[in-house]
Structure 1
Amino acid sequence: MQDRYAGDVGDFGKIGMLCKLTDSGLRIGVNRYLTYKLEEHINADGRHIGYLNNILFICCDDELLKSLYAIATGIRGVVQLENANLIPKAIYYREILKPGSDRNFNRSIWFRNSLEALSECDIIFCDPDNGLIVKSVSQKSNKSDKYILPDELVSYYKAGKSVIFYNHRY
């Protein structure tokens, strides 16, 4: 997840789904898999907000659409999504995840901290940029921060959590 994507069409679907899950009384934890690379914030990616003016989305969830419109047309960021309280009683983990190429960063510690932060949750939703790591990307690469690792999914499951994760594929 990146701040510049906050309020995009993907958030409409993800947040809508997670809100429905809370109707059953389950507590949602969200691991943002938040990344930040200056060079990525210079390009025009993250502009998928045309849905905000599409009448079909109003029929799905008018209140969510209004909230995301305010975020997507204002200061976009995960903090704004969280402060809007769109997912009732959700707990968020949004520490920056750095790529494997950063020798000063320990992903294992980052992940362990997420387990602790989200320990009170029934369901963990992981929101990496791209989804489950692919064979063409090494865990030590500059792109590894865009992916969730299989052992991270297993660790949440072993901690007694149900796990849902975003997986972007064409």
Structure 2
Amino acid sequence: MQDRYSADVGDFGKFHLLRYIFLNTSYNLSQIWYMYPDESHNNDGLYINYFEKVKGMDKELEEKFKKISQINRNVKALENSNLLSNTKYFDSLVNENNKDDLDYRKSWLQKAEEFSKNSDFIAVDPDNGIATKLIKIDETKDISIQSFDTFKTKTKAGKYIFADEIECLYNNTKCLIIYHHLNRTMAHDKQVELLKEKLEDKYKNVLAIKHKPYSPRVYFFVCSDETIYEFLKEKLKEFESSFSIHWQVF
């Protein structure tokens, strides 16, 4: 997550989804931003002229995001908007002095674990999502999830969550929500299916929902608690049914 992305279309989708899931529940959430220093080499995060496309979906969210997008685009503004109840935010930078150092990253992870201890849900928001590697065997494409072992060779490692972190945070909560930005290595739906299969191999109870507008994203729900898994299956179906123009469950 970078301050410059605050209140863009991706953030709208994320808050819309979480607000729907947690409405009228007592579940608590720890949002781990995976804060990364603002970059300036591209125009990412400029999708703030999207409000006509989401009109009527969540009026309070629309109003507050319009204000943030026009006046104060940063993560603190999102946190202070009070759009999510029973939520706390971990906003420490995921790298140190703009350098991705593995020792610092492991220390950062320990702090994130301590911060989110006893949370019903943990949500992570790395810029690019899960650290993956494309595997080609003849004409077949596959995906592997990368661990800390490949950290030093992963360009801008602070923009990804690694397998080690997924496992640590999964063990720290009843449900881990992972943001992943889909790329151009293969068809988006195929990427979602393959990553869901990889996560299911290790964690069993996994759900996924894709946010379609502009540059598609997916949210994986990796559940250690059976009751929450069953709750989410119904909630995500309801959400997709109500907002299928923007969302697809896998």
TM-score, structure 1 normalization: 0.88
> Could you say what the CA RMSD is over the residues aligned between the two structures, in angstroms?
2.1
Equivalent residue for 2:83, pick from 76, 80, 86:
86
1:155 and 2:168 matched? yes
For residues 1-170 of structure 1, the aligned pairs below 5 Å read 1-23=1-23, 24-37=25-38, 40-41=39-40, 43-52=42-51, 54=52, 56-98=53-95, 102-103=100-101, 106-135=104-133, 138-140=150-152, 141-170=154-183
How far, CA to CA, are the matches of 1:105 and 1:80 in structure 2?
A: 30
8 Å contact 1:98–1:105 — kept in the other structure? no
**CA distance 1:60–1:103, change in 2 (3 Å):** closer
Is the strand fraction higher in 1 or 2?
A: 2
How far, CA to CA, are the matches of 1:159 and 1:102 in structure 2?
A: 24
8 Å contact 1:4–1:41 — kept in the other structure? no
Structure 1 residue 84: Cα displacement: 0.7
Structure 1 residue 17: Cα displacement: 1.2
**CA distance 1:169–1:42, change in 2 (3 Å):** closer
Structure 1 residue 101: Cα displacement: 5.2
Which secondary structure does the structure 2 equivalent of 1:4 belong to? Answer: helix
Structure 1 stretches of at least 4 aligned residues deviating more than 6 Å after TM superposition: none
Q: Which runs of 5+ in 2 are unaligned?
A: 135-145, 184-250
8 Å contact 1:92–1:118 — kept in the other structure? no
Q: Which of the two has higher C-alpha Rg?
A: 2
Q: 1:142-163 CA distances to partner (integer Å, 9 max, x unpaired)?
A: 4111101111111112223310
8 Å contact 2:27–2:86 — kept in the other structure? no
Structure 1 residue 42: Cα displacement: 5.6
How far, CA to CA, are the matches of 1:28 and 1:132 in structure 2?
A: 20
**CA distance 1:6–1:120, change in 2 (3 Å):** same
Structure 1 residue 20: Cα displacement: 2.0
TM-score, structure 2 normalization: 0.61
How far, CA to CA, are the matches of 1:116 and 1:21 in structure 2?
A: 25
Higher relative contact order (CA 8 A, sep 6+): 1
Structure 1 residue 57: Cα displacement: 1.1
8 Å contact 2:121–2:177 — kept in the other structure? yes
8 Å contact 1:30–1:126 — kept in the other structure? yes
